[in-house]
């Protein structure tokens, strides 16, 4: 199953993985183990003992000294010819690696495999088996096997890197981890069509082939290599080595979607509880438990892993918690920075575990920002994160508030940042996506508020702040917000009238649907003023619809609207109907008073008009001159004299009158 094309050629070149030393001073047929002791099968008695833990090797000085610089230095620097024992508890690879090295010193054939080469290479470095002592020493031959056999094989690179977990820091210092990581990265980034080596992958889905597939089928086309073929093999590595592999793969230029998928696959195997359903703490808040279920909020994760439960013990004292904390911190650090590299559901589950395991605050903040970038993709089940700290609420409402703030900041940044597209494209496409994202987030927040409102410890302020976090344009309909308000009123029956009005202030009555209005009209938990506003808003909608629709539409729709209005009024409780009747009476009274004021205003306007005329007359009279008034008086006097003469009918005019008339004529002539 694990093999590559290069293994056969490499096996012939290196004798099938058998190493032997041509020069040796003691002829032996091998080692014999007796309990925890190893003895050389030879007629010459041993004169040197190497103690490694509880195991002891009874050997000879000459074969060891001739090939190990460390043993040679220990023996000759001791200045004690009777030295016959040395302790090497710190040798990398332990007894297995030293046994292979000792056999090599005696010229016994050593079978090199991917499982023992790393330990043998580190032990050879520890024993200083260099070329200075003998040509073709153990270090040289182990390096050749690593370079030409191991690194050319996918299987061997994985196995060697896995075996390096017990060889730190020797494997790091000898660059075994780096070379194996780069070898794995190169092969993972190869074109799947050119892969010929075996791998441990998920079986392909079996489907009924179509006629075209059967027609074009060939041995190479039947067994197609999926792009995620390397996920399963890479997931067996320890987290630090997995990070090295992923880092090398990212340097090679692999698509960020595949890198993110590999990280999610790795997390499912190494993070118990990541794929479990969200815990819903009950009365026993101190011992929060998580139940495994087949439904995971619409996620594709499947499995039966368990979660660490929070108890009275500190997580820092648990080795398992420390390991999981290290895995979470490492995975967060290697997630690609692109927006859709991993799913939002995975990020939220990872965030939940990070909070539970008390990961570094900086990494938690980074996770929150990543979730804010993809917040419109979240589901309600993933948002119901329990409050793992000693808080008042059952769920971590403050966390959701922070996630929503990160989302708003991200949306503002994207809308204000310059785009590669033209302005018209950005205006038509980008703004539409932003509005759709805000609408999805608004529905998600309304559903979350409906769920958490059942918690009696949830304060009105937190509910109001979370409900008003999004702009008004994000919601085209406030039905979801109304459901959340109604649920909160059910769970908090002791709210005062002022608090209920304050709660309902976050809702716009004009954005409620017909069904919501029907429910609100019969809802006795709502304040009377809110019910009146709902009914009035519905009446305004009906009036606007009647005013803007055509005559035919009016005939068909007005009947339904009037019926809805009658249904609203009939379904309204008696107390609200009385309040509505009183409100209508007040409105009619105000209309009557308004008409009276209009009549008084008209009367005052007429009086004002007559006064204005009189004033104009007085102004005209004031502007007439004194000469004009005198002339009018004289004319009147002359007319009076003529009348008197005609009445007397006297033919003769007295002298005095005649004289006066002449005088008046002369005066008039002089004036003219």
What is the per-residue pLDDT across 551-609, written as a single tens digit (0 to 9) for each? 445 455 555 555 555 555 555 555 555 555 666 676 777 777 777 777 877 877 787 88
578 sits in the region (left: phi over 0; alpha: psi -120 to 50; else beta) called: alpha
Report the 10 Å Cβ neighbour count for 389. 9
**Torsion from C-alpha of 534, 535, 537, 540, nearest 10 degrees:** 180
Distance CA 118, CA 171 (A): 7
> Is 176's pLDDT higher than 90?
yes
- Segment 413-430 mean pLDDT: 53
Distance CA 280, CA 295 (A): 15
Task: Find the length of the chain.
Answer: 672
Q: Residues 151, 180: contact at Cβ < 8 Å? A: yes
pLDDT at 276: 55
- Bridge partners, 11 (sequence order): none
Highest mean predicted confidence (pLDDT) among 245-259, 389-403, 573-587, 636-650: 245-259
- Segment 191-202 mean pLDDT: 75
Per-residue pLDDT band for 520 (boundaries 50, 70, 90) equals confident
**DSSP state at residue 386:** B
End-to-end CA distance of the chain: 142
> Is 164's pLDDT higher than 90?
yes
Distance CA 553, CA 546 (A): 8
Distance CA 35, CA 55 (A): 9
- Is 354 strand, coil or helix? helix
Across 17-31, 52-66, 212-226, least confident range:
212-226
**All domains of the chain in start order, with CATH:** 30-152 (3.30.710.10)
Instruction: Kindly state the tokens that stand for 400.
Output: 């959701």
- Is 449 strand, coil or helix? helix
Q: CA-based diameter of the chain, in Å?
A: 201
Q: What is the average pLDDT score of the chain?
A: 76
Q: Dump pLDDT digits (tens) for 31-77.
A: 888 888 888 888 788 888 999 989 999 998 888 888 999 998 988 88
∠ CA 266-270-273, rounded to 5°: 110
Structure-model confidence comparison of residues 545 and 405, the more confident one: 405
pLDDT at 638: 53
Instruction: Kindly state the tokens that stand for 96.
Output: 């297995």
pLDDT at 565: 55
Order of strands, sheet of 37-40, starting from the edge strand that comes earlier in the sequence: 31-34, 37-40, 55-59, 48-52, 85-87
Across 22-31, 34-43, 93-102, 639-648, least confident range:
639-648
pLDDT at 287: 34
- Bridge partners, 51 (sequence order): 56, 87
Per-residue pLDDT band for 410 (boundaries 50, 70, 90) equals confident
Instruction: Provide φ and ψ at 87, rounded to 5°.
Output: -105, 130
pLDDT at 13: 41
Structure-model confidence comparison of residues 119 and 18, the more confident one: 119
Q: Dump pLDDT digits (tens) for 435-461.
A: 688 899 999 999 999 999 998 989 999
Distance CA 127, CA 64 (A): 10
Q: Dump pLDDT digits (tens) for 327-376.
A: 999 999 999 999 889 999 999 999 999 999 899 999 999 999 999 999 99
Q: Residues 371, 410: contact at Cβ < 8 Å? A: no
> Is 631's pLDDT higher than 50?
no
Q: Residues 25, 107: contact at Cβ < 8 Å? A: no
**DSSP state at residue 525:** T
Q: Residues 384, 395: contact at Cβ < 8 Å? A: yes
Structure-model confidence comparison of residues 161 and 578, the more confident one: 161
Report the 10 Å Cβ neighbour count for 4. 19
Q: Dump pLDDT digits (tens) for 458-492.
A: 999 999 999 999 888 888 888 899 899 999 999 99
> Is 310's pLDDT higher than 90?
no
């Amino acid at each position: 199953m694990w093999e590559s094309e290069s293994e056969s050629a490499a096996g012939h070149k290196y004798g099938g993985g058998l190493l032997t030393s041509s020069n040796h001073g003691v002829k032996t047929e091998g080692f014999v183990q007796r309990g925890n002791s190893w003895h050389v099968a030879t007629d010459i008695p041993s004169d040197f003992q190497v103690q490694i833990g509880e195991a002891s090797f009874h050997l000879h000085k000459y074969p060891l000294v001739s090939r190990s610089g460390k043993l040679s230095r220990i023996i000759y620097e001791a200045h004690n010819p009777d030295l016959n024992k040395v302790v090497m508890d710190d040798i990398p690879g332990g007894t297995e690696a030293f046994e292979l090295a000792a056999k090599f010193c005696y010229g016994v054939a050593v079978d090199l495999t991917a499982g023992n080469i790393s330990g043998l290479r580190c032990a050879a470095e520890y024993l200083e088996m260099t070329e200075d002592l003998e040509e073709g020493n153990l270090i040289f031959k182990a390096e050749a096997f690593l370079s030409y056999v191991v690194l050319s094989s996918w299987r061997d690179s994985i196995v060697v890197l896995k075996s390096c977990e017990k060889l730190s820091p020797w494997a790091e210092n000898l660059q075994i981890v780096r070379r194996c990581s780069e070898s794995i990265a190169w092969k993972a980034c190869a074109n799947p069509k050119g892969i010929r080596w075996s791998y441990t992958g998920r079986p392909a889905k079996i489907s009924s082939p179509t006629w075209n597939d059967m027609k074009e089928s060939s041995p190479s086309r039947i067994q197609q290599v999926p792009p995620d073929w390397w996920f399963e093999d890479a997931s067996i590595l320890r987290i630090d080595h997995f990070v090295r592999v992923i880092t090398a793969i990212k340097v090679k230029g692999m698509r960020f979607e595949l890198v993110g998928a590999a990280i999610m696959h790795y997390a499912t195997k190494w993070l118990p509880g990541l794929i479990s359903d969200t815990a819903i703490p009950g009365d026993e808040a101190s011992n929060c438990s998580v139940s495994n279920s087949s439904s995971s909020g619409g996620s594709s994760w499947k499995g039966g892993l368990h979660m660490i439960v929070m108890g009275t013990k500190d997580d820092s004292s648990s080795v398992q918690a420390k390991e999981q904390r290290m895995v979470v911190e490492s995975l967060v650090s290697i997630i690609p920075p692109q927006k859709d590299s991993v799913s939002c559901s995975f990020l939220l589950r990872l965030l939940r575990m990070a909070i539970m395991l008390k990961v570094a605050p900086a990494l938690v903040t980074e996770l929150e920002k990543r979730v804010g970038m993809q917040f419109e993709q979240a589901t309600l089940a993933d948002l119901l994160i329990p409050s793992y700290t000693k808080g008042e609420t059952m769920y971590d409402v403050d966390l959701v508030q922070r996630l929503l703030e990160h989302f708003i900041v991200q949306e503002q940044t994207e809308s204000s940042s310059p785009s590669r597209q033209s302005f018209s494209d950005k205006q038509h496409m980008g703004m539409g996506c932003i509005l759709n994202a805000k609408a999805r987030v608004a529905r998600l927040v309304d559903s979350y508020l409906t769920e958490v409102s059942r918690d009696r410890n949830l304060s009105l302020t937190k509910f109001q702040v979370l409900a008003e976090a999004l702009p008004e344009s994000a919601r085209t309909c406030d039905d979801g917000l109304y459901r959340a308000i109604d649920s909160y009123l059910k769970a908090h029956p002791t709210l005062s009238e002022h608090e209920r009005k304050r709660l309902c202030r976050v809702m716009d009555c004009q954005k409620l649907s017909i069904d919501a209005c029907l429910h609100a009209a019969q809802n006795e938990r709502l304040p009377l003023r809110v019910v009146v506003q709902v009914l009035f808003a519905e009446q305004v909608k009906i009036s606007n619809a009647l005013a803007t629709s055509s005559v035919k539409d009016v005939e068909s729709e007005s009947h339904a609207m009037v019926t809805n209005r009658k249904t609203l009024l009939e379904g309204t409780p008696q107390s609200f109907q009385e309040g509505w009747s009183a409100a209508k009476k007040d409105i009619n009274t105000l209309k009557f008073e308004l008409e009276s004021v209009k009549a008084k205003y008209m009367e005052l306007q007429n009086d004002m008009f007559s006064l204005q005329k009189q004033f104009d007359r007085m102004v005209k009279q004031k502007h007439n001159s004194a000469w004009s008034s005198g002339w009018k008086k004289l004319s009147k006097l002359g007319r009076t004299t003529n009348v008197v003469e005609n009445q007397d009918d006297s033919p003769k005019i007295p002298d005095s009158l005649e004289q006066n008339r002449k005088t008046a004529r002369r005066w008039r002539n002089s004036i003219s």
